[in-house]
């Protein structure tokens, strides 16, 4: 027994040794903005579709004070950066991620994304958000400055929170806590019970519909519970639903297929909820209905294969443009956590397939902010909003030109170093490449 | 009788009724006994309990239309049988005095059918002993002196397991079958099949041939052993067993007695039957047969009509099933969306399979195998006929062809003296849908299928009541379903019910009258008589006399023209060609040409493609006969080569059962129908290196293909290519993420992985030195090729320690590791890789998906490249492969690689790694015409592949793609309407259902998945 313990300790020691070998730990969150900053001569992509050539953006104490071609001159205390030839963007927002909840997908000990149970409205992702995850810094250096951290599992998996990506701990990181409750719709995909040509399993669909009904019942009971202020026994699950019914919190419904989305819309109507659909692979089939019902979509991963072999080969690339055309409010997301750093490029693809470049940018900035409920303070480069800014040498949505030189979160200039850059530098030295 | 009176209730019954009831009971007993009392002569060795009852069973069937075989029909002929055999079948046959004569006027006699693919009389094999969480099983669980693999069951003989089963025989007999070849459908080698009849005789007599064929498949059946767990593993096992059996003939002392191999060898004398699941499996089976000089008789899967020329080329005789796919319920459009066009088209076209085979002169049999309900058989034969199969061919496919290939045409398959008395008596031509099958005689035993109508009573009669009037009555309809009407001013429909010779009729006397005359009686030839009640209920006597034939005209048999169907597509999916394209000469004018050669990027340049090669590069080239494509403002690059792909693979990408599976070959399991071929062409990919997965240290042999849409497996392959093999290191190989039960396969550590290699190559070296008479081992053959630099390694790898290790092993055995794939820590050992001469194929930016990628960095490719390692960016993913140009562009973002060098990472560099840089990977005169015309700089996210050209054929064209979309929509709509009308007609339908396409990543152990990304 003792020997076994000893071995564990030795292993643990080794593991720590590996981690501390690199300097990632010295990448500190930045101090609050102390001086006004003026970014001048830049191409400013506002995030709302507007582009300001040769413009200036000023921010102070974390807030944008002025944007445009005729910004009042900087005071003597201001830092002025001449950004001639460079592009200024609102920080990209990853609206759907496991960031900080997962460190290594295959290692159970590093996964804090999925709780046990079917209905867990009181579970909060922000609690497990690891502000020291090595993954976070690899996102910032690609201009992703905010993320919604989402729990998964069961039917009602808990609440997400939006975090800013420069923080000492989860409390610092919290940008908007519990912004949405998450409902994972059971799949209504008709699947053959016995291979090609087999009949679809009706049982499976029935189970799914029963589960939906289970959630509906839960919502009804929670709603009724809240009509009475005194309860002999407090029900934390019902309590956790309060803000949802007052529309202070949104319900994000994860689903992809037409029938699933129709159920989602019906849900919103029955309980008068502020919802968004997360996923929406087949949203293009009912874009008009989504528009009529003002249901926004967090569209998952344009870089996907078509759902069906007969679908247009570029269907996932062009779904965004179809939603735009129908007037649906949507933003783009990516699965996973480390993958979020490619979100800008996913936006680029939607621009190749029908969106204008500025519309594509809006789909990962202002629209994301609107859907997550943070557009009052971020998502675009407008006076009064937080100075969440990424500066790129070239087009941020094109990997061949996107090089993020500087970034600010709430006016703080953040350190764009990360573990991977450090390893790069280490081996550049080894091979004399520098 | 006594027992009946013991019951008080019985005592109340009249004496007469009691007698009747008792006779009923003995009748039931008699019926049961009849099953045993058969006309085939008794067996000498069996004692008789009671009085011997020898009978010769001599019958004469007179005045029949006898269809002796598909070619010969005799009118007004007589069939004579005795002792279960045919004595004569011709118009002038002498009727023996002791024959029971049966008048078959107007009836047709056919040979009973032969089903060559049945498991009648054999119990289903049971999968035993292993639960899902059982540890891996490395060797066979079969007890005894048998072979190592549980799926090789060559020692199993159906004849040993066969027991007659009347419940199973009856429906087959009703479908017309008299004889079947029966096998236990279990395993890759299934042992021998027996030829048996469906007569209810003792097995000793029913068995016509004990070992009539040997049967094989690609399905391991109930075997609980891990190997093989992929289709390519099944194929490898078959191949190795052929070799082992050959070797076993020399009685090697090392092997001892191996009953499986012994039986295998003995079985080679028999006809060899192979069950294939689909058209590609047919070709796979045929290929193995060719390798070992075996011509299989191939049981088809049902979609072979999609590749008729390939089927014909096998030279096989086929066994075609008739389980056509059911109609799909398309009512709900949201669900109908999940039905693929390919499945709808298959529904439409599958019944045409037999007709297509006939048209192509491919010999075939028909089988009832695979039908959920054998009752469906005749209807489906008729459907096949409606879809183009001739009746003559259908009969041949059910009689002569199967009998002949089983070398049993001397016994069954036609009506000739000396053959078994296996025949059908029908009311008309056997495949006509009005025809009633009355009787099926097997070995001289009569089995009544339908007795109604045997006596044709149709005609006009005068019915006379006493007391009462006479009425003129007509009996029409069909012989087995007669209709009756009273002929008056208004013809009044009555009712007739015939049961053997008993008849009951009712005659209405006025239109809409509620009362009628009800009569019951007996039919004696042309006069009927009996008793009844008139409309007032008075007892009457009656008689009826035949007056004349009915005036009803026989309905002419309408032969409906074969249904008009949609076009075949190559590949068989929405994006297939209707006609395979021909190479054309193309001139791309005025493009920015990324040559990948020392010329670099050439502006405003023309490229001429001729005969599938790049013929000329320059300015203002003359087109000649070439089609001109305007490249103004566009970019032309070499086609993208994906160094690490798993598309277009069938039934498993990993043979994960053993740590060394060098014998399995991706080349055996290509799936040319994969829609990802088209999708990747749309992303500029022209060639893909299809790798075995990474589940074991030495995986299978890989295959380089070109994305030649619509070609078959052989034609997808790049010819004259240095063969490669997949190796793997790290977590997958040591099963780190396989769950708790997978902790016993060696190795479980990186230490063990090294020993696997050392051991494998040591064995290979020793094997090579063995003298004559050695057992040829396909696994070691592949390793020997590696030792001689005749086969090259692509090795899945992550961390620096293991990368170093493999290079050391290779050095010590004097070979070179050609390529490290994944190689996410390659940047740490780039100098060592360069020194060793290894190249790299890596991901642009993947990491954090497991522990061994914690130090993965997106700068990896840039560092390796700068150190001088030939570096490629690859996909391992069907989605990412569509935008490899963008993945390459990430090396610009991470590590500052130049644009031209970045593009090389998905073109010429993978070509170098695959040893095809002399013919692919750059735009150079003489190289293959594999090029992509891009809308923009190919490294930009905004670039689309507008045309992807392979061997001078435009395989993807963005304008044509729009037409294909329209065609898909139109064809989907046409078939949807057809299916809807089918449902309206009352055809049973199955619910619309989604069927996932086969898709793999290198770590997938079982199936693939549509969208998600695996580890």
Alpha-carbon gap: A236 to the closest alpha carbon of chain B (Å): 34
* Position B15 confidence tier, pLDDT thresholds 50, 70, 90: low
Nearest to B991 among A200, A257, A338 (CB): A200
Strands (E), B204-259: 207-217
Across chain B, which distance is largest between two alpha carbons, in Å? 119
pLDDT value of position B18: 63
Please give the pLDDT value at position A15: 35
The pLDDT, as a whole number, for residue B36 is 44
Q: Do B854 and A104 touch (CB under 8 A)?
A: yes
Q: Does B342 touch chain A (CB under 8 A)?
A: yes
Residue B626: pLDDT above 90?
yes
Q: Is-contact B843 B822, C-beta < 8 A?
A: yes
pLDDT surpasses 90 at B9: no
Residue A102, min C-alpha distance to chain B (Å): 9
User: Read out DSSP for B667-696?
Assistant: GGGB-TT-THHHHHHTTTEEEEEE---SSS
Task: Show the CA angle centred on residue B432, arms to residues B431 and B433, nearest 5°.
Answer: 110
Tell which phi-psi region holds residue B175, choosing left (phi > 0), alpha (psi between -120 and 50) or beta. Answer: alpha
Least Cα separation, residue B538 to chain A (angstroms):
59
B450, B499 in Cβ contact below 8 A? no
Distance CA B40, CA A118 (A): 69
CATH number of A25-91+379-434: 2.30.40.10
Chain B interface mutation, best of A263, A399, A418, highest count of B Cβ atoms under 10 Å:
A399
Which residues in chain A are closer than 8 Å to B882, comparing Cβ atoms? 305, 313
- Is B942 part of the contact surface with chain A (CB cutoff 8 Å)? yes
Compute the distance between CA of residue B550 and CA of residue B567 in angstroms, rounded to an integer: 47
Mind listing the pLDDT tens digit for each residue in B204-217? 999 999 999 999 99
Give per-residue pLDDT as tens, B833-880: 999 999 999 999 999 999 999 999 999 999 999 999 999 999 999 999
Domain boundaries, chain A: 25-91+379-434, 92-378
User: Quick one: pLDDT band at residue B325, thresholds 50, 70, 90?
Assistant: very high
Handedness of CA B577, B579, B582, B585 (dihedral sign): negative
**Chain A residues 350-379 within an 8 A CB cutoff of chain B:** 351-352
**How buried is residue A287: exposed, middle or buried, by Cβ count under 10 Å (0-12/13-18/19+)?**
buried
Work out the burial of residue B750: count CB atoms within 10 Å of its CB; fewer than 13 is exposed, 13-18 middle, 19 or more buried.
Answer: middle
Q: Answer whether residue B358 shows pLDDT above 60.
A: yes
Interchain CB contact of B893 with A (< 8 Å): yes
**CB contacts, 8 Å: B326 with chain A:** 197
- Whether A189 has its CB under 8 Å from any CB of chain B: the answer is yes
Cβ proximity of A160 and A151 under 8 Å: yes
Q: What is the pLDDT of residues B284-307, one digit of tens each?
A: 999 999 999 999 999 999 999 999
Mean pLDDT of A394-408: 97
Half-sphere exposure of B103 (CA within 13 A, CB side): 5
Query: What is the three-class DSSP state of B601?
Result: strand
Whether the link from the prior residue into B747 is cis, omega within 30° of 0, is yes
Q: Are B627 and B585 in contact (CB under 8 A)?
A: yes
**Hunting for tokens 């290191």 — which residue is that?**
B729
CB B678 within 8 Å of CB B575: yes
Strands of B262-414, DSSP E: 272-275, 297-299, 318-321, 327-329, 364-367
Cβ of B41 under 8 Å from any chain A Cβ?
A: no
Angle at B955 between CA B950 and CA B959, to 5 degrees: 135
Contacts of A189 in chain B (CB under 8 A): 338, 994
- Nearest to residue A142, comparing CAs of A356, A414, A332, A362? A414
Selected residues 732-761 of chain B with any CB under 8 Å from a CB in chain A? 736-737
Which DSSP category does A74 fall into? Answer: P
Whether the pLDDT of residue B970 is over 50: the answer is yes
Report the run of H or E that residue B88 belongs to, with start and end. strand B85-90
Q: Within 10 A of A285 (CB to CB), how many other CB atoms are there?
A: 18
Q: A249-286: per-residue pLDDT in tens?
A: 999 999 999 999 999 999 999 999 999 999 999 999 99
Phi, psi values for residue B545, rounded to 5°? -125, 135
Give the per-residue pLDDT at B690: 98
- Would the CATH topology of A25-91+379-434 be identical to that of A92-378? no
Closest Cα in chain A, distance from residue B474 (Å)? 48
Q: How confident is the model at residue B128 (pLDDT cuts 50, 70, 90)?
A: low
Q: What is the mean pLDDT of chain A?
A: 92
A-facing residues of B in 633-672 (CB < 8 A) are none
Query: Cβ–Cβ of B883/A303 closer than 8 Å?
Result: yes
Mean pLDDT lowest for which of A147-156, A294-303, B502-511, B970-979?
B502-511
Strand segments (E) across A194-347: 250-255, 275-279, 297-300, 330-333
Under an 8 A CB cutoff, do A196 and B990 touch? no
Arithmetic mean of pLDDT, A129-137: 97
Q: State yes or no: pLDDT of A239 exceeds 50.
A: yes
Tell whether B12 lies on the interface with A, counting CB pairs under 8 A.
no
Amino acid B780: pLDDT:
98
Which has the higher per-residue pLDDT, B998 or B733?
B733
Q: Rounded to the nearest 10 degrees, how much is the dihedral formed by the CA atoms of A403, A408, A412, A417?
A: -30
B896 touches chain A (CB under 8 A): no
- Contact call for A104 and B961, based on CB within 8 A: no
A176: which strand partners? A162
CATH no. for A92-378: 3.20.20.140
Asked if B689 and B716 touch (Cβ cutoff 8 Å), the reply is no
Q: Which helix (H) or strand (E) holds A17?
A: helix A2-20
B651-685 pLDDT, tens digit per residue, is 999 999 999 999 999 999 999 999 999 999 999 99
Say if A213 is an interface residue toward chain B (CB within 8 Å): no
Distance separating alpha carbons of residues B169 and B188, to the nearest angstrom = 27
A136 touches chain B (CB under 8 A): no
Min mean pLDDT across A219-228, A422-431, B23-32 is at B23-32
Between residues B281 and B5, the one the model is more confident about: B281
> Do A67 and A42 contact (CB within 8 A), yes or no?
no
Q: Is B570 exposed, middle or buried (0-12, 13-18, 19+ CB in 10 A)?
A: buried
Cα dihedral value B598, B601, B606, B612, nearest 10: 60
CB contact under 8 A, B847 and A338: yes
- Chain A residues with CB under 8 Å of B280 CB are none
Nearest residue of B to residue A190 by CA position?
B993
């Amino acid at each position: 027994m003792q020997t076994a313990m000893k071995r564990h300790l030795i292993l643990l020691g080794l593991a720590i040794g590996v981690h501390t070998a690199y300097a990632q730990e010295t990448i500190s969150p930045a101090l609050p903005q102390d001086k006004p900053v003026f970014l001048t001569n830049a191409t400013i992509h506002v995030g709302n579709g507007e582009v300001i050539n040769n413009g200036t953006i000023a921010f102070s104490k974390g807030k944008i004070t002025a944007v445009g071609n005729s910004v009042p001159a900087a005071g003597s205390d201001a830092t002025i950066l001449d950004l001639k030839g460079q592009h200024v963007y609102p920080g990209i927002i990853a609206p759907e991620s496991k960031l900080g909840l997962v460190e290594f997908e295959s290692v159970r000990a590093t996964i804090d994304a999925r709780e046990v149970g079917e209905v867990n409205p009181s579970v909060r992702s922000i609690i497990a958000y690891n502000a020291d995850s090595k993954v976070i810094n690899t996102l910032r250096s690609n201009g992703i400055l905010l993320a919604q951290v989402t729990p998964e599992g069961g039917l009602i998996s808990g609440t997400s929170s939006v975090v800013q990506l420069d923080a000492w701990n989860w409390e610092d990181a919290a940008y908007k806590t519990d912004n949405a409750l998450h409902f994972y719709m059971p799949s209504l995909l008709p699947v053959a019970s016995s291979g090609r040509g087999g009949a679809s399993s009706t049982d499976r669909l029935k189970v799914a519909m029963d589960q939906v009904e289970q959630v509906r019942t839960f919502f009804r009971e929670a709603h009724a519970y809240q009509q009475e202020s005194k309860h002999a026994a407090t029900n934390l699950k019902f309590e956790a639903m309060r803000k949802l019914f007052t529309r202070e919190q949104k319900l994000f419904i994860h689903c992809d297929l037409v029938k699933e989305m129709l159920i989602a819309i019906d849900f919103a109507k029955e309980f008068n909820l502020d919802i968004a659909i997360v996923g929406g692979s087949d949203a293009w089939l009912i874009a008009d209905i989504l528009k009529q019902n003002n249901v926004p979509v967090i569209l998952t991963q344009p870089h996907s294969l078509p759902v069906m072999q007969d679908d247009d080969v570029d269907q996932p690339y062009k779904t965004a443009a179809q939603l735009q055309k129908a007037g649906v409010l949507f933003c783009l997301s990516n699965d996973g956590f480390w993958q979020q750093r490619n979100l800008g490029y996913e936006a680029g693809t939607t621009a190749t397939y029908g969106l204008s470049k500025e519309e594509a940018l809006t789909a990962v900035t202002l629209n994301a902010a609107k859907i997550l409920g943070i557009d009052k303070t971020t998502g675009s480069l407008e006076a009064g909003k937080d100075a969440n800014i990424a500066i790129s040498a070239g087009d941020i949505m094109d990997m061949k030109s996107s090089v993020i030189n500087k970034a600010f979160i709430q006016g703080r200039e953040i350190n764009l170093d990360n573990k991977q850059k450090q390893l790069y530098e280490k081996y550049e030295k080894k091979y004399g490449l520098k | 009788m006594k027992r009946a009176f013991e019951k008080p209730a019985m005592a109340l019954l009249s004496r007469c009724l009691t007698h009747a009831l008792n006779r009923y009971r003995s009748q039931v007993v008699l019926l049961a006994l009849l099953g045993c009392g058969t006309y085939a002569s008794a067996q000498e060795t069996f004692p008789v309990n009671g009085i011997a009852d020898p009978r010769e069973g001599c019958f004469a069937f007179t005045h029949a239309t006898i269809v002796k075989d598909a070619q010969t029909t005799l009118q007004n002929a007589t069939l004579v049988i005795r002792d279960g055999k045919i004595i004569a079948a011709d118009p002038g046959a002498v009727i023996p005095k002791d024959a029971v004569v049966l008048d078959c006027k107007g009836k047709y006699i056919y040979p009973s059918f032969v089903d060559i693919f049945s498991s009648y009389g054999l119990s289903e094999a049971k999968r035993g002993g292993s639960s899902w969480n059982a540890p891996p099983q490395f060797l066979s669980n079969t007890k005894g002196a048998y072979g190592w693999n549980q799926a090789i069951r060559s020692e199993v003989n159906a004849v040993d397991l066969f027991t007659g089963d009347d419940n199973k025989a009856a429906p087959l007999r009703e479908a017309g079958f008299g004889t079947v070849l029966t096998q236990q459908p279990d395993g890759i080698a299934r042992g021998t099949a027996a030829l048996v009849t469906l007569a209810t005789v003792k097995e000793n007599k029913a068995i016509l041939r004990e070992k009539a064929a040997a049967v094989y498949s690609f399905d391991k059946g109930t075997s609980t052993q891990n190997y093989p767990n992929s289709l390519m593993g099944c194929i490898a096992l078959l191949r190795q067993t052929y070799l082992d059996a050959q070797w076993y003939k020399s009685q090697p002392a090392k092997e001892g007695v191996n009953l499986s191999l012994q039986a295998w060898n003995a079985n080679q004398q028999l006809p060899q039957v192979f069950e294939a699941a689909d058209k590609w499996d047919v070709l796979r089976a045929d290929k193995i047969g060719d390798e070992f000089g075996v011509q299989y008789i191939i049981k088809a899967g049902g979609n072979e009509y999609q590749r008729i020329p390939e089927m014909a080329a096998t030279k096989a005789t086929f066994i075609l099933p008739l389980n056509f796919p059911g109609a799909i319920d398309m009512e709900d459009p949201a669900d109908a969306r999940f039905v693929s066009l390919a499945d709808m088209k298959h529904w439409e076209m599958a019944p045409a399979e037999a007709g297509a085979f006939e048209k192509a002169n491919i010999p075939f049999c028909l089988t009832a195998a695979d039908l959920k309900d054998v009752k469906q058989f005749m209807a489906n034969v008729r459907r096949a006929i409606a879809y183009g199969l001739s009746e003559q061919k259908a009969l041949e496919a059910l009689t002569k062809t199967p009998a002949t290939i089983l070398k049993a045409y001397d016994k069954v398959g036609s009506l000739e003296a000396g053959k078994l008395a296996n025949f059908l008596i029908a009311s008309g031509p056997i495949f006509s849908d009005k025809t009633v099958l009355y009787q099926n005689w097997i070995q001289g035993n009569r089995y009544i299928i339908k007795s109604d109508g045997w006596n044709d009573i149709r005609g006009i009669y005068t019915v006379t009541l006493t007391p009462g009037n006479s009425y003129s009555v007509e009996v029409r309809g069909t012989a087995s379903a007669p209709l009756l009407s009273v002929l008056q001013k208004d013809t009044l429909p009555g009712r007739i019910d015939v049961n053997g010779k008993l008849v009951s009729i009712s005659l209405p006397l006025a239109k809409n009258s509620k009362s009628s005359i009800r009569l019951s009686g007996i039919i004696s030839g042309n006069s009927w008589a009996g008793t009844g009640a008139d409309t007032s209920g008075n007892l009457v006597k009656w008689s009826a006399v035949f007056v004349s034939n009915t005036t009803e005209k026989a309905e002419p048999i309408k032969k409906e023209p074969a249904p008009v169907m949609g076009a075949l597509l190559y590949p068989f999916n929405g994006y297939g060609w209707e006609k395979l394209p021909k190479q054309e000469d193309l001139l791309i004018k005025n493009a920015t040409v990324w040559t990948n050669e020392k010329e670099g990027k050439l502006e405003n340049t023309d490229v001429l493609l001729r005969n599938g090669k790049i013929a000329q590069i320059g300015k203002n080239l003359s087109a000649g006969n070439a089609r001109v494509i305007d490249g103004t403002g566009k970019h032309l690059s070499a086609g993208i080569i994906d160094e690490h792909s798993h598309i277009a693979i069938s039934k498993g990408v990993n043979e994960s059962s053993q740590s060394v599976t060098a014998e399995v070959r991706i080349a055996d399991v290509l799936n040319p129908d994969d829609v990802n071929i088209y999708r990747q062409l749309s992303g500029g990919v022209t060639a893909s290196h299809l790798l075995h997965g990474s589940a074991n240290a030495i995986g299978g042999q890989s295959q380089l293909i070109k994305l030649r849409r619509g070609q078959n497996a052989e034609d997808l392959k790049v010819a004259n290519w240095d063969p490669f093999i997949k190796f793997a290191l790290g977590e997958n190989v040591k099963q780190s993420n396989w769950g708790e039960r997978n902790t016993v396969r060696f190795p479980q550590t990186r230490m063990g992985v090294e020993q696997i290699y050392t051991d494998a190559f040591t064995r290979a070296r020793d094997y090579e030195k063995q003298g004559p008479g050695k057992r040829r081992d396909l696994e070691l053959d592949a390793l020997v090729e590696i030792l001689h630099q005749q086969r090259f390694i692509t090795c899945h790898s992550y961390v620096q320690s293991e990368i170093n290790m493999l290079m050391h092993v290779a050095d010590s055995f004097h070979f070179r590791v050609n390529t490290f794939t994944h190689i996410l820590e390659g940047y740490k050992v780039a100098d060592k890789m360069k020194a060793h001469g290894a190249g790299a194929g890596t991901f642009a930016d993947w990491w954090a998906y497991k522990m061994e990628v914690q130090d993965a960095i997106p700068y990896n490719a840039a560092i390796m490249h700068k150190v001088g390692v030939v570096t490629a960016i690859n996909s391992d993913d069907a989605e990412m492969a569509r935008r490899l140009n963008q993945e390459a562009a990430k090396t610009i973002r991470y590590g500052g690689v130049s644009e031209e060098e970045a593009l090389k990472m998905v073109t010429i560099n993978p070509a170098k790694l695959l040893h095809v840089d002399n013919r692919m990977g750059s735009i150079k005169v003489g190289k293959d015409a594999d090029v992509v015309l891009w809308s923009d700089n190919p490294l930009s996210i905004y670039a689309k592949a507008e045309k992807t050209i392979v061997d001078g054929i435009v395989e993807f064209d963005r304008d044509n793609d729009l037409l294909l979309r329209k065609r898909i929509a139109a064809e989907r709509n046409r078939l949807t309407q057809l299916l809807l009308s089918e449902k309206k007609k009352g055809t049973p339908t199955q619910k619309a259902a989604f069927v996932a396409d086969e898709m793999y990543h290198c770590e997938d152990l079982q199936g693939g998945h549509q969208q998600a990304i695996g580890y």
